[in-house]
Amino acid sequence: MDGELRAEGTAESEKKHRAGNLRPPVKLTVWYNTKCPVCNAGIAWQRNRLVRAARAGLIEFRDINLEPEALSRFGASLENVRRRLHATDAEGRLHVGADCAIAIWQATPSHAWLGRLLSLPVIHAVVMFGYDRFADALCAWNRWKGHW
């Protein structure tokens, strides 16, 4: 896919932090599409679960429609972000689609286990496939409804 980079450093950073390294968990900036009612509801739910992390500056949610060129340095267009979640971490890596969702779950105390589980090789491949098909269908539905 256009401009996609896959990063697996979030789990590694978390491991180092728990092992006694004083480096804080990776800050994650999540770019999402507020014009998609399903995406908007999902992010609102997740944001409520991550209030403490958001207040501490560890995770931030931003509307790509307000800054359509924000991820252009990665080759990600507004259309790419409308189709799949994108996030950047403090180390400058881009997380796209299912990898972005996994990074968010890893940042959610009650769902970190889910992020680790979905990162396992065979499961990860299935999750990527399922996420991409759902994202394609959701994007088509949003176009049909005239959300953008």
- Return the SS3 of 29: strand
Q: Provide the pLDDT for residue 25.
A: 55
Per domain, the residue ranges of the chain are 25-145
Q: How many whole angstroms separate alpha carbon 42 and alpha carbon 77? A: 21
The answer, yes or no, to whether residue 139 has pLDDT greater than 60, is yes
pLDDT of 26: 56
**pLDDT over 60 (residue 119):** yes
* 0.85 surpassed by pTM: no
Tally of CA atoms within 13 A in the half-sphere of 63 that contains its CB: 9
Helix boundaries (H) for 84-120: 98-107, 112-118
Q: Render pLDDT for 2-61 as a digit per residue (tens, 0 to 9).
A: 333 333 344 444 444 444 444 455 589 999 999 999 999 988 888 888 887 788 778 999
